[in-house]
A and B are shown apart, each in its own frame.
Chain A
């Protein structure tokens, strides 16, 4: 049992455990907290996969920004929001059956495919962030600029959506 396997085991256990708790909690605030654990563990998985920059971005964007944004969303709507589920047993069972079928199909596909043997680890000549920066600003420079436009549009759109409508009728 190597250190990598132990780290993977603990991190994936935390990831899936946080997600399962998210489903089983009824208070929405508790859901956000347990999903925060999931997000941080996923950042650990990214670091384990050699993607340090993505791991740090995951901690910043998901467990930082999105969790806090969700908490703001809860506090601005219903403080003690709870989720009792739809209460329709028949519908929930049908959805569960559908998801089990999807899971079985994908599981079968993953197990059946012959994945390429893991390549020998390439000697890291440059750091991960350096590598990403080189690619983003040469090969992917147009998508990068488009994403900045998208963020600007989303910012303006969110402000217009959430601001009070003037009653000028």
Chain B
């Protein structure tokens, strides 16, 4: 019994759906950021799986994964900086209370 590409794609799909649910329902901004990271990781699993089991196996998928990891790290750093600035001004970390632009 060997592991096929479908198994990896299914694991990535489940991770993506869990991350999507967390990003849409969580209230704490840190939890929302964590869920977005989970979704990015699911995409990375897909890229690496295709780089081994795809129609044309090549190392390009792994290089795309490296780039997307870099972007994810930059995104987390900026997201937390924005969160800290917001917390200093509004003293809240809940996303549904950050509604200054709605008024």
Contact = CB atoms under 8 A, between A and B. Distances in A.
Contacts of B19: 19
B29 to A, nearest CB: 8
A20 interface: yes
Interface in B62-99: 62-63, 65-67, 69-78, 80-85, 87-88, 93, 96
A5 B3 CA distance: 6
15 contacts: A32-B30, A35-B37, A38-B41, A46-B45, A53-B62, A57-B66, A83-B31, A96-B21, A103-B13, A110-B13, A111-B6, A132-B59, A132-B62, A150-B74, A151-B70
Contacts of B48: 45-46, 49, 51, 54
Interface in B31-51: 31, 33-35, 37-38, 41, 44-45, 48-49, 51
A146 to B, nearest CB: 9
Indicate the size class of the contact surface on chain A.
35 or more
Interface residues of B, number: 70
- Interface majority SS on A: helix, strand, loop or mixed? helix
- Interface majority SS on B: helix, strand, loop or mixed? helix
Contacts of B73: 61, 65-66, 151, 154
Interface of B: 1-11, 13-15, 17-22, 24-28, 30-31, 33-35, 37-38, 41, 44-45, 48-49, 51-55, 57, 59-60, 62-63, 65-67, 69-78, 80-85, 87-88, 93, 96
A62 B37 contact: yes
Contact of A28 (B31, B44, B45, B76): B31
